[in-house]
Amino acid sequence: MSHYCVHCGSELVLRVIEGREVEACPNDDFVLWHDPKVTTAVVVEVDGGVVLGRRAIEPGRGLWCLPGGFVNDDEDPWEAAARECAEEINSAVELTRLIGVYHIPKRGAPSMVGIAYQARLSGGGRPSPGAEMLEVGIFAPDSLPPLAFPSHRKVMAEYAGVLPPAGRATKSRARAEAAEPRSGAAMAQRGSRPSRVPAPSRPRRTR
Ligand SMILES: [Zn+2]
């Protein structure tokens, strides 16, 4: 498919720049660089679990994913991450750390640079589904439903792997030894089934 210069409208021609074959304008300095898009994913911790949303839109409609999305041109990535949590799971969050930065290769679309953060709720209330979600759930990190995106599986693997082993053992031991007889049942329930909150209305398309 032919592409054209955004400045003068000339048909672009192949040129080699810095060892890379690119489409460039024969009349001026316009180059059609294929830059990656920047996207975020957020692991929001709630009660020892993480928040996932079941998608109301393509791609991956009906599957679960982490809250997150594209970074706008005028946003810092952390602002975009917090905004997406407000939009997708109706939650104010405090980002607590950077989990990692990933290249997400795509065919037929720009590849992405994914930035994954860990976060906790900062406002009152429980997560609930935003416009792009059918429902939200809180899942144990080792008992996740099928996720829509390979990149989110990678983030969750990294998240589970980098939790300090001592901290994890202490946490689960503390739970197991808790005097409340219902705490074990609550853990088991969280592990097998999320506490789901259905969407109140039809989703509306937003970015
Ligand atoms: Zn041109």
Domain spans of the chain, in order of start: 1-33, 37-186
CATH 3.50.50.60 for domain 37-186: no
Closest CA relative to residue 87, chosen from 132, 52, 56: 132
Confidence at residue 162, expressed as pLDDT on a 0 to 100 scale: 61
CA of 20 to the centre of ligand 1 (A): 19
Q: Are 134 and 199 in contact (CB under 8 A)?
A: yes
Which pLDDT score, from 0 to 100, does residue 177 have? 37
Distance 71 CA to ligand 1 centre (A): 28
Stretch 68-88: mean pLDDT: 97
Segments of the chain assigned E as strands: 13-17, 20-24, 31-32, 37-46, 49-55, 64-65, 68-70, 93-104, 112-121, 133-139, 197-198
Say how many Å lie between the CA of residue 28 and the centre of ligand 1.
Answer: 5
- Position 187 scores a pLDDT of 37
Quote the ligand 1 centre to 6 CA distance (angstroms): 7
Tell me the CA–centroid distance for residue 11 and ligand 1, in Å.
8
Whether residue 202 is predicted with pLDDT greater than 80 in this model: the reply is no
Compute the distance from residue 33 Cα to the ligand 1 centre, in Å: 14
pLDDT in tens, 172-191: 433 333 333 333 333 333 34
Q: What is the mean pLDDT of residues 27-40?
A: 96
Topology given in CATH for the domain delimited by 1-33: Ubiquitin Ligase Nedd4; Chain: W; (2.20.70)
Task: Give pLDDT, residue 196.
Answer: 63
Would you say residue 194 has pLDDT above 90? no
To the nearest whole number, what is the mean pLDDT of the chain? 84
